[in-house]
Amino acid sequence: MKKNITYLSIFLGGIIVAILMFSIVRYSPEYMYRILRYRDSDVNDYKIFPEKIIQSSIEPYYYESEIMDGLGEEVVHYRYNGEDRKEKLNIFLENTKTTSFIVIHNDKVVFEQYYNGYSRDSINTSFSSVKSIVSLLIGIAIDEGFIKNEKQSIAEYIHEFKNTPMEEITIEDLLMMRSKIRYKEGSLWFGDDAKTYYMPNLRELAMDHIRIDKEYQGNFLYNNYHPLLLGIILERSTGQRVSSFLEEKLWKKIGSEYDASWSLDSHKNEFEKMESGLNFCSIDFAKIGSMLLHMGKWNGEDIISEDWIYKSTIAEFPLEEQEYKNTFLENTGAGYQYMWYSIEKKQGAYDYFAAGKHGQFLYVSPQNNIVILRNGIESGKVDWWPNVLENITQNVVELTYEGRRI
């Protein structure tokens, strides 16, 4: 019996070694090293990738501070596993592994706190909230004539796609997360989630992935090849690295106080991780929300057109629920536009937000002139953070009416 177990162990071990050797040859040693060494992504991953530094503004913008008395003691209502819960804001933020939480109302900081060992100058990473920034960069490129419009075929800029099925896909399809490009989640390192995160040549990965899902019905389908392709389009249309374009057209113009960085796929290929890798101090990222509230103008600069902000941030309501069936947005009430999420509120108003893994949120409420930034080590025991942020927005409004500011 013991001999049989030993033979079985040797046999299974041989299969595992064979699969690993095949994978090293099929993909790359660097990819497999990253998969086996780091496994799932976490908030410290900016330390393991090479990076391109994004210089801060020579004339930083500093918010006025008008701290709201008692906001940290206000009760927050939320749900976890479908169960209603409530907790005071400061305790809730600490317990949910929040790292930074900033609330800006009428262009003034009314709440700014850091938790779980983080401080004002700590680095937070965007994860997928960077996709919303990529959307802004596409808008700026259109505003400045580098790209004609979002209705163009992606083959207009990635000529290798001419006379292939990829030619039918438009820039807008990528922005909307509605293309026929095949995307398979999971499946260990064979799946597209892992490849689009850890592969050391993301340009090549995206351009070689000419795979069409023939059963695709035109609905929302989250796909990390989309931002990679948008990055290639930005490079080729502007003649600049994406991080340099961001630095010149956005980061310096918002009055950033700190340098940021953009993680790269590898030292050799130096392509920005378009799907996840912008790293920043939170107070600067919040300024992007303030710029959006001012319809593209901020810190004395015209940054992006009102037209792009209108068309890119708000999904079409009422939502066609079938479009989101079997996705993480099903039954949330949130829609997806050009890499921004939006929710419908009362009296025809809308809030919108950027969102990333482990609970990274830039939440904008135009009706209330409020920006909320939440970064975290993880999402914590919260079913749907936008409901929490909407709740806090209402708390700010109510406390403002009561005049509770220091």
3-state secondary structure of 297: strand
Q: How far apart are alpha carbons 299 and 297 in whole angstroms? A: 7
For residue 374, pLDDT over 80 is answered with yes
Q: Cα–Cα distances in Å, from 161 out to 266, 332, 344, 357? A: 24, 36, 38, 31
Closest CA to 196 of 285, 131, 284: 131
Q: What's the burial of 305, exposed, middle or buried (CB within 10 Å: 0-12/13-18/19+)?
A: middle
Convert the pLDDT of each residue in 14-47 to its tens digit: 666 666 565 675 778 899 889 999 989 999 999 9
Cα distance between the two ends of the chain? 76
Helix (H, G, I), strand (E, B) or coil at 319: coil
**SS3 of 190, please?**
helix
pLDDT in tens, 253-279: 999 999 999 999 999 999 999 999 999
Q: What is the pLDDT averaged over residues 294-321?
A: 95
Angle value at C-alpha 373, between 372 and 379, nearest 5 degrees: 115
Domain boundaries defined on the chain: 2-38, 56-402
Q: Hey, how many other C-beta atoms are within 10 angstroms of the C-beta on 86?
A: 10
For 301, the token pair is: 């600069």
pTM: 0.94
Strands (E), 243-290: 260-263, 278-280
Per-residue confidence (pLDDT) for residue 151, from 0 to 100:
98
Which pLDDT tens digit goes with each residue over 173-219?
999 999 999 998 877 778 899 999 999 999 999 999 988 998 898 99
CA-nearest of 379, 61, 10, 9 to 250 is 61
The residue whose two tokens read 């922005």 is 175
Note the pLDDT tens digit of each residue in 87-120. 999 999 999 999 999 999 999 999 999 999 999 9
Half-sphere exposure of 183 (CA within 13 A, CB side): 20
State residue 249's pLDDT score.
Answer: 98
Arithmetic mean of pLDDT over the chain:
93
Buried-exposed string 36-56: b where 16+ CB fall within 10 A, e elsewhere? eeeeebebebbeebebbebeb
- CATH code reported for the domain at 56-402: 3.40.710.10
